[in-house]
Structure 1
Amino acid sequence: MIEEFTVGNDRELDLKLARYDVMGSMAHIRMLESIGLLSGDELKSLLEALEDIAAIIERGEFTIEPGIEDVHSQVEFMLTQRLGDTGKKIHSGRSRNDQVLVDLKLFIRDELKTTSQSIKHLFDRLQLLSEKHKDALMPGYTHLQIAMPSSFGLWFGAYAEALVDDMQMIAAAYSIANQNPLGSAAGYGSSFPLNRTMTTELLGFETMHYNVVAAQMSRGKTERAAGMAIAAVASTLGRFAMDVCMWMCQNFAFISFPDELTTGSSIMPHKKNPDVFEIMRGKCNRLQSIPNEIALLTANLPLGYNRDLQLLKDIIFPAFSELRSCLDMCDFMLSHIKVKENILDDPKYDYLFTVEDVNRLALGGMPFREAYRTVGMQVQNGEYVPTRSVSHTHEGSIGNLCNAQIAAKMETVMDKMS
């Protein structure tokens, strides 16, 4: 009863850490051999056994046996079964606290990098669509009221650049994860002469958590940083999904998708519902709650390891795959999007051009406030006739999207995780 309550589904979640536990153990025993705690022959036999376990993991055949608490204990149990006392030496100079920490750091680092690739694929799709439809005008809104001319080039491009900002969050979380905690043991170091620089290099970490207490304090902070990055991407994606749902509505009808990518109704034969984007919006809204959930779980915990932290895995692990499924689905759907042309020919959009005509008068020499009053009176008296010409040339405007510069920004951020 106690074990069921305290372990829960942790064994299942630990399976995701198995390959990283083996990686961490390989680095650890190489270091132990370098400081004389293992012989060369012991190191060789341990490495061979760990390589065999790694192969079992890659084949999907690794399990945590009944009665064994976690992935770390399972790996050590397998080594001890095969190598006897030599297998028992592997835990010298470390605790399960820093063992799970290094597993988590390696896992989160990889998950962030994989997620960054899905973000980049969607970014590339949005940039492609922005260029393709850069001349297709659409209404711009403020307060959901008709405001000024916009374009599909601007709309698609805006979300592409928003993803660059989100990628900065991913890169920041990656940097926090990319620090080696191994050797901090239970959070207060070890009397063994450990070479933490060696394990940092062997595991490909950018640096280490030098202070052993700070290393243990990173449990929860690493997950929270990753959660904030996930939430940032989800915020952008959820907002885009809302736009799509609205633009598909017959009252707007700016975009459409093939029938097979929409859903119908049991009683209304005309319906083509945006279920994919509604589900995407809902999932992204849930993902935005992750930083709060982690913050509440870790708030005011006393210094050192506390079992509460185990529950973080149940929050952050599925979030990565959930976010990637949304990113990949959005990319797939956008490969089939259809954009409506000549939207602004409809007379109901005439007032979109008032600012263009105010600026045209001002460029002709009329003071701006007088130009504003002149066009305003035309609108009020029902005399306004739009010129329907749009001439925006500054950086980031309808006529100068700066997509190449935005792509360069994305490459700069991506390089931080190379």
Structure 2
Amino acid sequence: MKLWDKGFITDKKIDHFTVGNDRELDLVLAKYDVIASKAHAKMLGKVGLISETEAADLVKALENIAKDIEKGKFTIEDDFEDMHSKIEYLLTETLGDTGKKIHTARSRNDQILVAMQLYLKDELSEIKLQIKSLFDLLLKLAEKHKNVLLPGYTHLQIAMPSSFGLWFSAYAESLVDDLYLVQAAYKIADQNPLGSAAGYGSSFPIDRSFTTSEMGFDTLKYNVVAAQMGRGKVEKSAAFGMSSVAATLSKLAMDICLYMNQNFDFISFPNELTTGSSIMPHKKNPDVFELIRAKCNKIQAVPNQLILIINNLPSGYHRDLQLVKDVIVPAIQDLKACLEMMSFSLKEIQVNTDILKDPKYDYLFSVDTLNEMVKNGVPFRDAYKTMGKAIENGNFKPKKDIEHTHEGGLGNLCLQEIREKMDKLF
């Protein structure tokens, strides 16, 4: 069944190519098509385009479909092009002519727009909660290990003292920045496009403000052409927010892989969170973090994928936009899995508390030792030269009882202030 069926049969090759994997993706989105259809049916009854009884019957039938979706009983067979055609078929099968009236004053174009935006709102909200969970864990670890020193690097060369407190809370505060972008994407998605029909509105006297309120959108996407132009753009906005989160996770995963290396030996994990080698019995591989790194690097490519699909398309609907689902839906699932696995694994992290006892890290303290000379009245440039000569001649004696008091430094992590940033977002 095709909603645009005019009585002729499409070649099977054309049908297969144009439908693609829409049926599989629509199983994810069907819940939201039903939510929008319920709001639409109520609106049709409210404005008198169908009777109140017909509206109530449609809503009841849609609620039954929603139950089947929740139970995993909803399927989209090859006879149906997508979720829209299957849902309308089920309504017609149950209600006869009343079921055929559900498509009054709408198009598949605004159907998929509103379903996708409802889906993005839900998924971005879930991602937001997962970010908060990881954020809380990172701050907890920062507090627990705030006094455990860690080498800091520039150019991957030993640079200055850091700490596990700084390292964990750095990623926590970075997640705040990521969440700003996720929030912006949510706000863009939180605009009701239903009623824009094929992109040019309808001659029916529909009430778009009613469906906006009914579905829980913050506002309308008022201009019907702008609503249609939102397809792809809304997903791209979400992808930029997701990409920012993925960049943070990827960098954290890379640090973990590096720090687990025996030559660093800064951290470790229980055996059950690592994998082994088929020929090397000593191996404890960070496969989880390597996969997080790789998956998150893929996610960072998603905005560009979407740009390449939608770029330079003129206003109005184009079939190119169908491919947007194929990019954004799997990326969302991957990001959620990466957030879940990062939190799950980090709970079990074990830190080495004696890292800086190794003499090879003595040069970490050169700047602090130099600064002590400056505090005692030696001009900075003279102190720098003196320290450089001492290091060159092998006479350097590090001052290890360091004291960093400024905001955001080793001795003043500002964990509460970082938490307040996050709290404002919630």
Q: Do the two structures share a fold, i.e. TM-score over 0.5?
A: yes
Report deviation, 1:163. Answer: 0.8
Report deviation, 1:71. Answer: 0.7
Report deviation, 1:403. Answer: 1.1
| Runs of 4 or more above 4 Å deviation | none
* SS of equivalent residue, structure 1 residue 263: coil
* 1:14–1:70 Cα contact (<8 Å) kept: yes
* SS of equivalent residue, structure 1 residue 265: coil
Report deviation, 1:366. Answer: 2.0
Alignment correspondent of 1:302? 314
User: 1:96 aligned to 2:75?
Assistant: no
Letter in structure 2 aligned against 1:121: S
Following the alignment from structure 2 to structure 1, what is the Cα–Cα distance between the partners of residues 313 and 222? Answer: 21
- Size of the aligned set, in residue pairs, is 414
- TM-score, normalised by the number of residues in structure 2: 0.95
* 1:139–1:146 Cα contact (<8 Å) kept: yes
Query: Which of 151, 165, 168 in structure 1 is aligned with 2:177?
Result: 165
* 2:38–2:62 Cα contact (<8 Å) kept: yes
Query: Which of 402, 407, 411 in structure 2 is aligned with 1:399?
Result: 411
Following the alignment from structure 1 to structure 2, what is the Cα–Cα distance between the partners of residues 342 and 67? Answer: 66
Q: Judge which range, 29-38 or 248-257, deviates more.
A: 29-38
Q: Judge which range, 283-292 or 264-273, deviates more.
A: 264-273
Report deviation, 1:36. Answer: 1.1
Paired residues for 1:125-164 under 5 Å:
125-164=137-176
Letter in structure 2 aligned against 1:206: D
Following the alignment from structure 2 to structure 1, what is the Cα–Cα distance between the partners of residues 281 and 71? Answer: 48
* SS of equivalent residue, structure 1 residue 386: coil
Query: Which of 260, 266, 283 in structure 1 is aligned with 2:295?
Result: 283
Alignment correspondent of 2:74? 62
Q: Over residues 71-97 of structure 1, what are the superposed CA-to-partner deviations in whole Å (9 max), with x where a residue is unaligned?
A: 111111111111111111111111110
Following the alignment from structure 2 to structure 1, what is the Cα–Cα distance between the partners of residues 412 and 81? Answer: 59
Alignment correspondent of 1:325? 337
Q: Over residues 209-246 of structure 1, what are the superposed CA-to-partner deviations in whole Å (9 max), with x where a residue is unaligned?
A: 11100000000001111111111111111111110111
Alignment correspondent of 2:216? 204
Letter in structure 2 aligned against 1:315: V
User: 1:184 aligned to 2:182?
Assistant: no
* 2:143–2:165 Cα contact (<8 Å) kept: yes
Report deviation, 1:299. Answer: 1.2
User: 1:37 aligned to 2:45?
Assistant: no
Alignment correspondent of 2:58? 46
Alignment correspondent of 2:120? 108
User: 1:375 aligned to 2:375?
Assistant: no
Query: Which of 243, 249, 254 in structure 1 is aligned with 2:255?
Result: 243
* SS of equivalent residue, structure 2 residue 231: helix
Alignment correspondent of 1:232? 244
Letter in structure 1 aligned against 2:171: Y
Report deviation, 1:302. Answer: 2.1
Following the alignment from structure 2 to structure 1, what is the Cα–Cα distance between the partners of residues 186 and 179? Answer: 10
Report deviation, 1:377. Answer: 2.0
Following the alignment from structure 1 to structure 2, what is the Cα–Cα distance between the partners of residues 182 and 152? Answer: 49
Following the alignment from structure 2 to structure 1, what is the Cα–Cα distance between the partners of residues 48 and 317? Answer: 29
* SS of equivalent residue, structure 2 residue 37: helix
Alignment correspondent of 1:338? 350
* 1:356–1:389 Cα contact (<8 Å) kept: no
Gaps of 5+ in 2: 1-12
Alignment correspondent of 1:117? 129
* 2:46–2:52 Cα contact (<8 Å) kept: no
Following the alignment from structure 1 to structure 2, what is the Cα–Cα distance between the partners of residues 91 and 190? Answer: 12
User: 1:17 aligned to 2:3?
Assistant: no
Letter in structure 2 aligned against 1:174: Y
* 2:406–2:412 Cα contact (<8 Å) kept: yes
Report the identity percentage: 59
* 1:181–1:216 Cα contact (<8 Å) kept: yes
Alignment correspondent of 1:263? 275
Letter in structure 1 aligned against 2:202: S
| Higher RCO structure, 1 or 2 (CA under 8 Å, sep 6+) | 1
* 1:138–1:343 Cα contact (<8 Å) kept: yes
The alignment's C-alpha RMSD in Å is 1.1
* SS of equivalent residue, structure 1 residue 146: strand
Q: Judge which range, 81-90 or 3-12, deviates more.
A: 81-90
Q: Over residues 5-60 of structure 1, what are the superposed CA-to-partner deviations in whole Å (9 max), with x where a residue is unaligned?
A: 11011011111111111110111111111211111111111111111111111111
Report deviation, 1:267. Answer: 2.5
* SS of equivalent residue, structure 1 residue 138: strand
Following the alignment from structure 1 to structure 2, what is the Cα–Cα distance between the partners of residues 206 and 183? Answer: 16
Distance change in 2, residues 1:387/1:323 (3 Å): same
* 2:42–2:56 Cα contact (<8 Å) kept: no
Following the alignment from structure 1 to structure 2, what is the Cα–Cα distance between the partners of residues 370 and 8? Answer: 70
Report deviation, 1:279. Answer: 1.4
Following the alignment from structure 1 to structure 2, what is the Cα–Cα distance between the partners of residues 324 and 66? Answer: 30
Q: Judge which range, 258-267 or 170-179, deviates more.
A: 258-267
Following the alignment from structure 2 to structure 1, what is the Cα–Cα distance between the partners of residues 403 and 242? Answer: 38
* SS of equivalent residue, structure 1 residue 219: coil
Gaps of 5+ in 1: none
User: 1:350 aligned to 2:362?
Assistant: yes
Report deviation, 1:111. Answer: 0.7
